[in-house]
A and B are shown apart, each in its own frame.
Chain A
Amino acid sequence: QQQVKQSPQSLIVQKGGISIINCAYENTAFDYFPWYQQFPGKGPALLIAIRPDVSEKKEGRFTISFNKSAKQFSLHIMDSQPGDSATYFCAASTEGAQKLVFGQGTRLTINP
């Protein structure tokens, strides 16, 4: 019930294309869904987050789509750039929780 499943494991996208990463969760108590971006040698950094009372949140080129009934959420990166090449993790937690449950990660490569 604590799992968050993320796909794909790796993704190659051409510069200017759309990158899409998907996650699914089981625990219906989760009410906070962040995405983290991690570059080699660095810790994860919060990219964008959503709560289940909205179906979509957009920040610049990054959009989270959320489907509460399907218990799925996804990250869309529009106009993908080589600088977006990194590992992306989805995560989930409950309000007031002291820990995040992470997906397995997606290694994204943007080809120039």
Chain B
Amino acid sequence: KAGVTQTPRYLIKTRGQQVTLSCSPISGHRSVSWYQQTPGQGLQFLFEYFSETQRNKGNFPGRFSGRQFSNSRSEMNVSTLELGDSALYLCASSLAGRTTYGYTFGSGTRLTVV
């Protein structure tokens, strides 16, 4: 059974640019959640999508957005990149978005903003 796949693994972008990250969940999982991991702030919840609908959103500016497609794949977009957006972006998939069952993380996308 394939795990959660995140692409690309590494990205280098310039301040002011925008970036799109992709997450393919485990087959059959309908929920995708996104987290930002930095040395200073740790792991912070960005948002969660279930059946193409955003159900929950963390405390991040509107430059951070996402969407989910009918096949449950999800994309996350960050516009007008800032140096502080450099982080490891992780997605987690689960059957129904419940953290208590089958909540599986991908290996992440390492974004560096220069």
Contacts and interface: CB of A to CB of B under 8 A. Distances in A.
Interface residues of B, number: 24
Interface stretch (B40-48, B66-74, B77-85): B40-48
B107 A99 contact: no
Contacts of B92: 43
B4 interface: yes
Grouping DSSP codes into helix (H, G, I), strand (E, B) and loop, the A interface class, with mixed when no group exceeds half, is: loop
Interface residues of A, number: 24
A102 B100 contact: no
B104 to A, nearest CB: 8
Grouping DSSP codes into helix (H, G, I), strand (E, B) and loop, the B interface class, with mixed when no group exceeds half, is: strand
Interface in A77-112: 89, 91, 93, 95-105
Interface string A29-64: 000101010000111111001000000000000000
Contact of A98 (B43, B44, B98): B98
A99 B100 contact: no
Contacts of B43: 44, 89, 91, 100, 102, 105
Nearest to B34: A99
A102 B44 CA distance: 7
A67 to B, nearest CB: 21
Interface of A: 32, 34, 36, 41-46, 49, 89, 91, 93, 95-105
30 contacts: A34-B99, A36-B105, A41-B107, A42-B107, A43-B4, A43-B92, A43-B107, A44-B43, A44-B90, A49-B100, A89-B42, A93-B100, A95-B98, A95-B100, A97-B99, A97-B100, A98-B31, A98-B48, A98-B98, A99-B33, A99-B58, A100-B43, A100-B45, A100-B99, A101-B45, A102-B43, A102-B44, A103-B42, A104-B42, A105-B42
